[in-house]
Amino acid sequence: MQNMHEHPTIMRYNEKVKAGDIRKSSPKLSSEALRQMCMDLGADDVGFVGIGRSELEDQRADILNIFPWTKTFISFVGRLNRENLRSPARSIASLELHQVEDRLNHAAQALAAALERKGIRAATPAVGFPMETDQWRGKMHVVSHKPIAVAAGLGKMGLHRNVIHPVFGSFVLLNTVLIDAEVDEYNSPLDYNPCLDCKICSTACPTGAIGPDGVFNPVNCLTHTYRELIGGFTDWVETVADSKGAIEYRSRTNDAETVSLWQSLAYGPCYKSVYCMAVCPAGDDVIPQYLEDKKKFIDSVVKPLQQRTETIYVLPGSDAESHVQRVFPHKKIKRVGNGIRPSSVAAFLWSMPLAFQRHKSEGLQATYHLSFSGSEQVEATIVIKDKSISIEQGHAGIPDVQVHADTKSWLRVLGKESSMIREIILRRIKVKGPMHLFKAFGKCFA
Ligand code: B12
């Protein structure tokens, strides 16, 4: 190779440095100009947050890991057309989500391109998908948009755990662009929560995942809403693999479900429910319709979704299954898996609060000491009481039940590759204490 200093690219670079055309660090950007740029590119509202903000502490390391130059988060929202989201037709609501998602992804990409031309580095994690699928069953998303939008003053999380914008209400999707520059003015969180605590979202959720007390069950939501995405999709693949032929496959997956999967793969996923957002009356633009005639609002917006005859996908024995039986007897229940199979004890312990079926734990008050041996050596204490769960590393308190398990055997049981009875008989899992308390423990995780 010839002397690198004589290479045309390097020579041009050195000339620019000499002329002072290359900046070593980015200048502070005008928040007003940047905001206008975002709006021109398709955002409906914008806010700015510095990397040092305390609200973002739990995701800072992950973000710096993928984009070490991050100094500012540009958070923006895209309005969803209300009537499309409210439609009982899943095709209309899903298409609305896809279109706004595309708009926000394009806005972020165009913004990054414009900034790059000005010499400012920017990265654009996706609005929703694609995600880091090798992290599946853990945190697949690169950036958590909700806490950033909240820090940027674009809304607050409501009872349904979606961000509610003060004007557009729940009818927004979120996006974040990471940039290597500071801005001259950052935003602060709203000083009130637009959520009215009316609990309509809780009454509309087909799976009962949104408790009226604010407890959210993400796994019951995911099992239904994401039936044709990620874990729901892997469960369907296993149904295909397990079926001895077309007749058996058809008895397990009807033709409409197969067609729906084709549509999801070809045109973007069918979200089985967005009812929590659709029925939310919060936000300055949305509230008039609710306040002017509450009965009409319930009859025309909420009831069509509640009364819709549809299939609700549930984990066998879950709170969601009992909820549908009790509250929506006209809806059809289908027992499915959701593809969540912890691949380590650490992942199992992490996922326990997400998978906890609190209504199944009613009346249970017990402390469990778990000891894992073999490929992972971990001790943990699980306390279940008052329909809640707490998990601690190590052994604490006096146990009602002690479980000693070979790690691989435990994971095989969770993955349904073996049964608990078999592993207990083979003494690879040993239970000390009242068996009914151990069985009750199992029932808390459908
Ligand atoms: C993981 C995820 C989910 C999970 C968990 C939902 C949740 N409440 O976080 C599931 C699959 C259930 C889900 C469902 C839906 N989601 Co979603 N989802 C995300 C994602 C990728 C990350 C959410 C997040 O930051 N969670 C962490 C913290 C901030 O949220 P949290 O509620 O305090 O935390 C709980 C859960 O997240 C859970 N959790 C954490 N990690 C994981 C991992 C898995 C696998 C599971 C099951 C749960 C889970 O544990 C926490 C304690 O309960 C974001 C996109 C993104 N990159 O940010 C979209 C996002 C939150 N989803 C969105 C939407 C629209 C939906 C749905 C309406 C489905 C749909 N049609 O898209 C439903 C609504 C459910 C609800 N009421 O919350 C929007 C919300 C817009 C808004 N206005 O806030 C987002 C921001 C996408 C976007 N860019 O706009 N989602």
Residue 197's pLDDT is 97
**Residues 74/46, Cβ–Cβ less than 8 Å:** yes
Better-scored residue on pLDDT, 389 or 2: 389
Give residue-wise pLDDT tens across range 78-87: 999 999 999 9
Ligand 1 centroid distance, CA of 143 (Å):
11
d(CA 302, CA 277): 11
97 C-beta closer than 6 A to ligand 1: yes
Long-range contacts from 233-237, C-beta under 8 angstroms, 24+ separation: 233/261, 233/339, 234/339, 235/336, 235/337, 235/338, 235/339, 236/261
User: Distance from the CA of 312 to the center of ligand 1, in angstroms?
Assistant: 19
Q: Determine if ligand 1 sits within 6 Å of the CB of residue 214.
A: no
pLDDT, tens digit, 9 for 90 and up, residues 24-80: 777 899 999 999 999 999 999 999 999 999 999 999 999 999 999 999 999 999 999
Which phi and psi angles does 110 have, rounded to 5°?
Answer: -70, -35
Q: Are strands 401-406 and 429-432 parallel, antiparallel or unpaired?
A: antiparallel
φ, ψ at 157 (rounded to 5°): -70, 135
Q: Which domains does the chain have, with CATH numbers?
A: 4-179 (no CATH), 200-335 (no CATH), 345-443 (3.30.1050.10)
Q: For ligand 1, what atom is nearest to the CA of residue 175?
A: 89
Distance CA 386, CA 252 (A): 37
Cβ of residue 147 lying under 6 Å from some atom of ligand 1: yes
pTM: 0.94
Name the residue at shortest CA distance from atom 22 of ligand 1: 144
Nearest-CA residue for atom 55 of ligand 1: 128
Residue 141 beta carbon below 6 angstroms from any ligand 1 atom: yes
* Site of tokens 């693999």: 241
From the CA of 218, how far away is ligand 1's center (Å)?
Answer: 8
pLDDT tens sequence across 263-281: 999 999 999 999 999 999 9
CA–CA separation, 35 vs 14, rounded Å?
34
Q: How far apart are CA 177 and CA 74, in angstroms?
A: 5
Residue 71 to residue 1: CA distance in whole angstroms? 38
pLDDT for residue 3: 85
- Digit-coded pLDDT (tens) for 291-321: 999 999 999 999 999 999 999 999 999 999 9
Q: How far apart are CA 445 and CA 355, in angstroms?
A: 6
**Does the beta carbon of 216 lie inside 6 Å of ligand 1?**
yes
Does residue 160 line the site of ligand 1, with CB under 6 A?
A: yes
Give the tokens for residue 62: 């992950």
**Is the pLDDT higher at 84 or at 340?**
84
The 10s digit of each residue's pLDDT in 204-235 is: 999 999 999 999 999 999 999 999 999 999 99
Q: Is the CB of residue 271 below 6 angstroms from any atom belonging to ligand 1?
A: yes
Q: Which residue's CA is the closest to the ligand 1 atom numbered 65?
A: 173
Establish whether residue 103 lines the binding site of ligand 1, counting it when its CB lies within 6 angstroms of any ligand atom: no
pLDDT at 108: 98
CA of 158 to the centre of ligand 1 (A): 13
**What pLDDT score does 22 carry?**
76
- Token couple for 56: 């973002």
Distance 386 CA to ligand 1 centre (A): 26
- Give backbone dihedrals phi and psi of 211, rounded to 5 degrees, phi first: -70, 145
Which residue's CA is the closest to the ligand 1 atom numbered 59? Answer: 128
Closest to 136 in 3D by CA, of 77, 47, 265, 222 = 222
Mean pLDDT computed over 195-208 = 98
Over the stretch 354-388, which tens digit does the pLDDT of each residue have? Answer: 999 999 999 999 999 999 999 999 999 999 999 99
Tell me the C-alpha distance between 436 and 195, whole Å: 42
In a 10 Å sphere around its CB, with 0-12 CB exposed, 13-18 middle and 19+ buried, how is residue 280 labelled? buried
Q: Is the CB of 225 under 6 A from ligand 1?
A: yes
Distances, alpha carbon 51 to alpha carbons 43, 113, 179, 181, 305, in Å: 21, 21, 10, 10, 41
CA distance 132 to 296: 43
Asked whether the predicted pLDDT for residue 2 surpasses 70, the reply is: no
pLDDT value for 1? 60
From 66, 145, 338, the mutation candidate for ligand 1 (largest count of ligand atoms within 8 A of CB) is 145
Ligand 1 centre and the CA of 141: distance in Å? 10
